[in-house]
């Protein structure tokens, strides 16, 4: 038998140390891998988590959902908007999370400028209202919600006379001033088309850091993803689960991949968005789902399955703008094409 001093024992000890070292290295690698996947870096250099909590239509469950997401599930990014009418609930949850020990600087809070505030003189007042409702001193990300400007008190959906000319350059200049004033860290847009992004890039002094668009395997939005990547604009994928309009979770290819990887369909859909380089913002008001939706790290969708998910033929937006803007009888937006134009 080997003793403490014989050569066999020395070899054994060295092997043990090597094994321990490789376990430490592996753990370290996994940690770096997880951290690298969990955050993306914006043009400004600020980091943004790859998963955030969506809050549209979370209603009276908002505060509980946001608190659960941050404190129990580990989310560090929340997406909200003035138009959702729940910012005070989000604010209460943020305050409670910070009282529970989460630091403000750990959180990335995003909100949006609604169409009735999409005029140069209304941008700063709208942001200040949002900050007040959220009980925050500054915002991490402020997005133009739609490239549409509406009159105060516009009908829902708008009627003729309610829609104003959208002064993209003037509104963006005021968004840039919010960054210069230290009220907002990053600015961006939502629901812009390729043409609109290109137009914005021509007049912007601060490039949009983020473009929030609908993106999931049922609406890949390839052209927008491509143009954003080309300009270093980070894509944030909304309605990643198909929202309430499309049952992507029962799409055969999604369930097949989920079963194969032993993950849920929702996790596969969220992971698909991350693997395309986007931040993904699933909404849920249920604790189990909120937790489930962020268990998307330290595993990957293999290339062949990723390609299969990226090949769904039936491509259409769930957010055609119908519920918000389309007034079939009187216009001015009589259908989704009027909202989006002929561009993607």
Q: Write out the catalytic residue numbers.
A: 84
Binding-residue pattern over the window 89 to 108 for ligand 1BO, x denoting contact by CB under 6 A = --------------------
Question: What is the β-pairing status of strands 53-54 and 279-280?
Answer: unpaired
Place of tokens 């509980």: 64
Assigned token pair, 175: 């968004």
Q: Closest separation between CB of residue 241 and ligand 1BO, Å?
A: 14
Residues near ligand 1BO (CB under 6 A), total: 4
Q: Applying CB under 6 A, does 240 fall inside the site for ligand NDP? A: yes
Question: With CB cut-offs between 5 and 8 Å by kind, which of ligand NDP, ligand 1BO, none does residue 282 bind?
Answer: ligand NDP
Binding-residue pattern over the window 209 to 238 for ligand NDP, x denoting contact by CB under 6 A = ---x-------------------------x
Residue 90 — φ and ψ, nearest 5°? -60, -45
CB-wise, 56 or 272, nearer to ligand 1BO?
Answer: 56
Neighbours of 29 (CB within 10 A): 10
CB-wise, 35 or 84, nearer to ligand NDP?
Answer: 84
Specify the DSSP element, H or E, that contains 194: helix 194-203
Q: Applying CB under 6 A, does 81 fall inside the site for ligand 1BO? A: yes
Of the residues 70, 73, 83, 215, which one makes contact with ligand 1BO according to CB under 6 A: 83
Between the alpha carbon of residue 217 and those of residues 105, 222, 227, 275, 302, the distances in Å are 33, 10, 18, 12, 15
Q: Applying CB under 6 A, does 110 fall inside the site for ligand 1BO? A: no
CB-wise, 83 or 89, nearer to ligand 1BO?
Answer: 83
Of the residues 289, 310, 336, 340, which one makes contact with ligand NDP according to CB under 6 A: 289
What SS3 state is found at 45? coil
Q: Applying CB under 6 A, does 192 fall inside the site for ligand 1BO? A: no
Question: With CB cut-offs between 5 and 8 Å by kind, which of ligand NDP, ligand 1BO, none does residue 175 bind?
Answer: none
Residues near ligand NDP (CB under 6 A), total: 27
Assigned token pair, 57: 């239509």
Site residues for ligand NDP, window 184-203 (CB under 6 A)? 190-191
CB-wise, 266 or 301, nearer to ligand NDP?
Answer: 266
CB-wise, 40 or 238, nearer to ligand 1BO?
Answer: 238
Q: Applying CB under 6 A, does 285 fall inside the site for ligand NDP? A: yes
Q: Applying CB under 6 A, does 241 fall inside the site for ligand NDP? A: yes
CB-wise, 238 or 333, nearer to ligand NDP?
Answer: 238
Sorted by sequence, the CB contacts under 8 Å of residue 156 that are 6+ apart come out as 324
State how far the Cα of 286 lies from the Cα of 301, in Å rounded to an integer: 25
State how far the Cα of 137 lies from the Cα of 135, in Å rounded to an integer: 7
State how far the Cα of 144 lies from the Cα of 83, in Å rounded to an integer: 12
Sorted by sequence, the CB contacts under 8 Å of residue 196 that are 6+ apart come out as 147, 168, 189, 343
Q: What torsion, rounded to 10 degrees, do the Cα atoms 343, 152, 209, 341 define?
A: 0
Name the residue among 119, 181, 123, 173 with its Cα closest to residue 148: 119
State how far the Cα of 131 lies from the Cα of 125, in Å rounded to an integer: 10
Neighbours of 174 (CB within 10 A): 19
Site residues for ligand 1BO, window 38-57 (CB under 6 A)? 56
Q: Applying CB under 6 A, does 149 fall inside the site for ligand NDP? A: no
Question: What is the β-pairing status of strands 39-41 and 47-49?
Answer: antiparallel
Of the residues 48, 49, 54, 197, which one makes contact with ligand NDP according to CB under 6 A: 54
Assigned token pair, 92: 């209460």
Question: With CB cut-offs between 5 and 8 Å by kind, which of ligand 1BO, ligand NDP, none does residue 83 bind?
Answer: ligand 1BO
Which residue ranges make up the site for ligand 1BO (CB under 6 A)? 56, 81, 83, 324
Which residue ranges make up the site for ligand NDP (CB under 6 A)? 54-56, 79, 145, 190-191, 212, 238-244, 249, 266, 281-286, 289, 292-293, 319
């Amino acid at each position: 038998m080997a003793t403490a001093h014989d050569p066999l024992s020395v070899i054994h000890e060295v092997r043990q140390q090597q094994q321990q070292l490789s376990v430490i290295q592996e753990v370290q690698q996994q940690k770096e891998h997880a951290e690298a996947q969990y955050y993306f870096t914006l043009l400004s250099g600020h980091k943004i988590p790859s998963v955030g909590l969506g809050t549209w239509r979370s209603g009276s469950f908002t505060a509980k959902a946001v608190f659960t997401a941050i404190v129990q599930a580990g989310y560090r990014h929340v997406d909200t908007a003035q138009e959702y009418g729940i910012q005070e609930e989000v604010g209460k949850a943020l305050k409670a999370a910070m009282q529970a020990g989460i630091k403000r600087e750990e959180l990335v809070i995003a909100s949006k400028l609604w169409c009735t505030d999409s005029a140069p003189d209304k941008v700063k007042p709208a942001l200040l209202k949002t900050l007040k409702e959220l009980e925050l001193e500054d915002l991490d990300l402020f997005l133009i919600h739609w490239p549409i400007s509406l009159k105060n008190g516009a009908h829902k959906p708008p009627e003729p006379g309610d829609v104003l000319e959208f002064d993209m350059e003037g509104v963006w200049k005021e968004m840039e001033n919010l960054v210069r004033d230290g009220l907002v860290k990053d600015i961006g847009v939502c629901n812009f088309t390729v043409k609109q992004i290109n137009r914005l890039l021509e007049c912007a002094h601060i490039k949009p850091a983020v473009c929030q668009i609908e993106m999931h395997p049922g609406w890949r939005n390839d052209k927008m993803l491509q143009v954003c990547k080309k300009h270093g604009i980070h894509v944030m994928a909304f309605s990643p689960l198909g929202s309430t309009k499309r049952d992507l979770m029962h799409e055969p290819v999604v369930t097949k991949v989920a079963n194969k990887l032993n993950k849920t369909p929702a996790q596969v859909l969220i992971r698909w968005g991350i693997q395309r380089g986007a931040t993904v913002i699933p909404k849920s008001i249920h604790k189990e789902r909120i937790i489930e939706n962020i268990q998307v790290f330290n595993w990957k969708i293999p290339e062949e399955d990723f390609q299969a998910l990226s090949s769904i033929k039936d491509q259409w937006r769930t957010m055609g703008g119908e519920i918000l803007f389309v007034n079939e009888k009187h216009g001015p937006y009589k259908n989704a094409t009027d909202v989006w134009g002929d561009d993607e």
